[in-house]
Amino acid sequence: MVTSTHEASHRIFQEHPEVLAPVFEALGLPPPAKSIVEALSPDATEIRPLERRVDTVLKVEPSEGDRFMVAIEAQTGRAPDKGISWAYYVAYLHAKFELPVLLVVVCKNKPTSMWAAGPFESRVGPWATQVTRPFVLGPHNVPEITDVSKVADEPAMATISAIVHSESRNIDAILHMLARGMRSFDKATAKYWCEFVEVGLENTPARETWKGLQKMVATYFPGRGTLFEETYLEGKAKGKAEGEAKGVLRVLEVRGIPVSDDARKRITSCTDPDRVADWLDRAATVSRAEDLFAGDVAEQTES
């Protein structure tokens, strides 16, 4: 099942390949120098009717050394058949592009990280024909970001750190540091990274902490129910209600119907666009402004 954490954990590599350098350092590998990184199609499906799709596939062309592939998988828990799929991905990409393949698995807890490291073997008795050993990014080797300047310099790595450590006991401190570091960004950049973090944290207690640290309004991941999106939709609904409230008052004014201060306040303070739309319909026929509210179920309940 594809989750928000899953999506954010690998998608960040597609949009920000510069994160490969600190990731390679975390894995204990020499980072590729001055590389050209190209995102490729993650589709590993052949003619047979069996769909296989790698989360993210990158082709790395260093200024020095040989070209290679990086296949990135996000894993939130154990999956019995995943070792077979990963072996297939590596073999398929190696055969298709004729380049060596580095498989990187992003995990956010220690048990999953230990399992994901393999090895996953195709074995008959003592003979192993194929062995898959993924490199794993997890709480054990991704550093916690505790430096504000680090967030400003490497926001992608800081985001990965927050996602990977989302189940750690230090996550609140990590998120507060992340929020402080993002204060140096321009509004658009801050919105982008704030939402990336929120989507990656998914339905965890850490997500609620992060929502409390956000003060901006925007939407970057539509349909994900993020705080930015919720705030945006609430504002849109409020704006619609305010516009129709003005329409109600204008209709009453044109018809020469006086509006008391209480009625005016009730109309202009309502933020429910459906209720105000109903009042707008009634404004064309009522004889008194107070008649707008007659039969209003919500008003009767409140009173």
- Residues 293 and 238 both lie in one domain: yes
Q: Do the domain assignments include residue 297?
A: yes
Q: Do the domain assignments include residue 143?
A: no
Beta strands in 3-141 (DSSP E): 36-40, 56-61, 68-74, 101-106, 120-124, 127-132, 135-137
- Residues 130 and 211 both lie in one domain: no
From CA 227, how far away is CA 54, in angstroms rounded? 29
What pLDDT sits at residue 112? 93
Pairing label, strands 101-106, 120-124:
unpaired
What pLDDT sits at residue 52? 57
**DSSP reduced 3-state for 136:** strand
Residues 6+ apart with CB under 8 A from 106: 9, 10, 72, 73, 74, 75, 136, 137, 138, 160, 163, 164
DSSP 53: B
Q: Do the domain assignments include residue 142?
A: no
- Residues 102 and 61 both lie in one domain: yes
What pLDDT sits at residue 225? 59
- Residues 38 and 127 both lie in one domain: yes
What pLDDT sits at residue 214? 67
Instruction: Assign residue 36 the CATH number of its domain.
Output: 3.40.1350
Cα atoms in the Cβ-side hemisphere of radius 13 Å centred on 172: 5
pTM value surpassing 0.75: no
Residue reference for tokens 């298709």: 96
Q: Which of 223, 250, 282 is the last residue of a domain?
A: 223
- Residues 131 and 158 both lie in one domain: no
Tokens at 302, concatenated: 């409140």
From CA 112, how far away is CA 115, in angstroms rounded? 5
- Residues 124 and 166 both lie in one domain: no
Q: Do the domain assignments include residue 250?
A: yes
As a dihedral over the C-alpha atoms of residue 87, residue 90, residue 95, residue 100, rounded to 10 degrees, the angle is -140
What pLDDT sits at residue 49? 39
**Residues recorded for the chain:** 303
Q: Which of 76, 110, 137 is the last residue of a domain?
A: 137
Q: Do the domain assignments include residue 259?
A: yes
180 within 8 A of 189, measured Cβ to Cβ: no
Letter string b/e over residues 2-22, b meaning 16 or more CB atoms within 10 A of that residue's CB:
eebbbbbbbbbbbebbebbeb
- Residues 105 and 179 both lie in one domain: no
What pLDDT sits at residue 5? 54
Per-residue model confidence as pLDDT tens for the chain (303 residues)? 445 455 566 667 666 766 677 777 777 777 666 666 665 555 544 434 344 567 788 888 887 788 898 888 888 889 988 999 999 999 999 999 999 999 999 888 889 999 999 999 998 888 888 999 999 989 998 888 878 888 888 888 888 888 889 888 888 888 888 888 887 777 777 778 887 888 888 777 888 887 777 653 343 445 555 655 666 566 666 667 777 788 888 778 878 889 999 889 888 888 888 888 888 778 878 888 888 887 664 444 443
Tokens at 135, concatenated: 């490199």
- Residues 59 and 133 both lie in one domain: yes
- Residues 154 and 130 both lie in one domain: no
Most distant CA pair in the chain, distance: 95
Q: Do the domain assignments include residue 270?
A: yes
Our CA angle for 75, 80, 82, nearest 5°, is 50
Range(s) of the domain holding residue 102: 4-137
- Residues 52 and 75 both lie in one domain: yes
Q: Do the domain assignments include residue 48?
A: yes
- Residues 178 and 270 both lie in one domain: no
- Residues 12 and 91 both lie in one domain: yes
Q: Which of 137, 159, 194 is the last residue of a domain?
A: 137
Number of domains making up the chain: 3
